[in-house]
Structure 1
Amino acid sequence: MNHDHYKESLQLLLYDELTVEEKNDIEQHLQKCPECRKELEQLQKFHTTLSSQKFIEPDSQLLREARQELRYSLKHSPPRESLWDWLQSALSSIFIQYKVALGGVATLTMGFIIGYVVFSPPNQPQKMEELASPNLSLSSRFPLSAQGDAKVNNIRFYDSDVSDGEIDFSFDAVTPVRMKADIKDDRVQKILAHALLNEQNPGVRLRSVSAMALEHTPPADDEIKDALITALTTDENPGVRREALRALQKFSFDDKLKQALLHVLNYDSNSALRIEAVNYFASTKSKSSPAIFDDAVRKVLHEKMQSDNNNYIRLRARAVLQEVNR
Structure 2
Amino acid sequence: MKHKQFKEWLQLSLYQELSEQERTILEDHLLACESCRSEMQELKKFHELLAYRRPLEIQEPLIQDARRTLRLRILAEAEQRSLWTKLRGVMDGMISRPVQAALAGTATLAVGILVGYLVFKFPTENNFTLARLSSASTAMDAGEPQITNIRFVDRNAQSGDVEFTFETITPMHIRGNVNDERVQKVLARALVSDQNAGTRLRAVNMIGTQMEQKSNGVPKLETEIKTALITALLHDRNLGVRREAINVLKNYLPDPAIVHAFLNVLANETNTGLKITAINSLDLSKYENQPMNQEILEMLKNKAKSDDNNYIRIKAKLALQEVQ
TM-score (norm: length of structure 2): 0.53
Structure 2 equivalent of residue 26 of structure 1:
none
Unmatched 5+ residue regions in structure 1?
Answer: 1-84, 110-129, 155-170
Are the equivalent residues in 2 in contact too, given 1:242–1:273 (CA < 8 A)? Answer: yes
Distance 1:298 1:177 in 2: 48
Distance 1:88 1:293 in 2: 73
Within a 5 Å distance, the mapping from 1:66-81 to structure 2 comes to none
2:175 counterpart of 1:180 = yes
**Structure 2 CA distance for partners of 1:247 and 1:143, relative to 1, 3 Å:** same
**Structure 2 CA distance for partners of 1:187 and 1:172, relative to 1, 3 Å:** farther
Distance 2:202 2:237 in 1: 15
Counterpart AA for 2:134 = L
Within a 5 Å distance, the mapping from 1:56-135 to structure 2 comes to 89=91, 91-92=93-94, 95=97, 97-99=100-102, 102=105, 134=130
Distance 1:314 1:176 in 2: 50
Residues 111-169 of structure 1, C-alpha deviations (whole Å, 9 max, x = no match): xxxxxxxxxxxxxxxxxxx97963652214423344x4214699xxxxxxxxxxxxxxx
Counterpart AA for 2:201 = L
Q: CA deviation at 1:104?
A: 11
Distance 1:253 1:91 in 2: 77
SS of residue paired to 1:269: coil
Structure 1 equivalent of residue 66 of structure 2:
none
**Structure 2 CA distance for partners of 1:178 and 1:218, relative to 1, 3 Å:** same
Structure 1 equivalent of residue 133 of structure 2:
137
Structure 2 equivalent of residue 191 of structure 1:
186
Are the equivalent residues in 2 in contact too, given 1:132–1:175 (CA < 8 A)? Answer: no
Are the equivalent residues in 1 in contact too, given 2:284–2:293 (CA < 8 A)? Answer: no
Structure 2 equivalent of residue 307 of structure 1:
306
Residue 214 of structure 1 is aligned with which of 209, 216, 235? Answer: 209
Are the equivalent residues in 2 in contact too, given 1:206–1:240 (CA < 8 A)? Answer: yes
Structure 2 equivalent of residue 200 of structure 1:
195
Structure 2 equivalent of residue 237 of structure 1:
238
Residues 267-322 of structure 1, C-alpha deviations (whole Å, 9 max, x = no match): 011111111100111xx334443536633211211221222121211111111111
Q: How many residues align?
A: 202
Within a 5 Å distance, the mapping from 1:127-166 to structure 2 comes to 134=130, 137-146=133-142, 148-151=143-146
Distance 1:187 1:86 in 2: 51
2:250 counterpart of 1:263 = no
Distance 2:260 2:127 in 1: 40
Distance 2:88 2:172 in 1: 54
SS of residue paired to 1:312: helix
**Structure 2 CA distance for partners of 1:99 and 1:229, relative to 1, 3 Å:** same
Distance 1:267 1:151 in 2: 42
**Structure 2 CA distance for partners of 1:285 and 1:295, relative to 1, 3 Å:** closer
Are the equivalent residues in 1 in contact too, given 2:141–2:172 (CA < 8 A)? Answer: yes
TM-score (norm: length of structure 1): 0.52
**Structure 2 CA distance for partners of 1:91 and 1:268, relative to 1, 3 Å:** same
Are the equivalent residues in 2 in contact too, given 1:142–1:179 (CA < 8 A)? Answer: yes
% identical equivalent positions: 35
Distance 2:311 2:289 in 1: 24
Deviates more, 1:133-142 or 1:241-250: 133-142
Larger radius of gyration: 1
Distance 1:183 1:142 in 2: 10
Q: CA deviation at 1:263?
A: 0.4
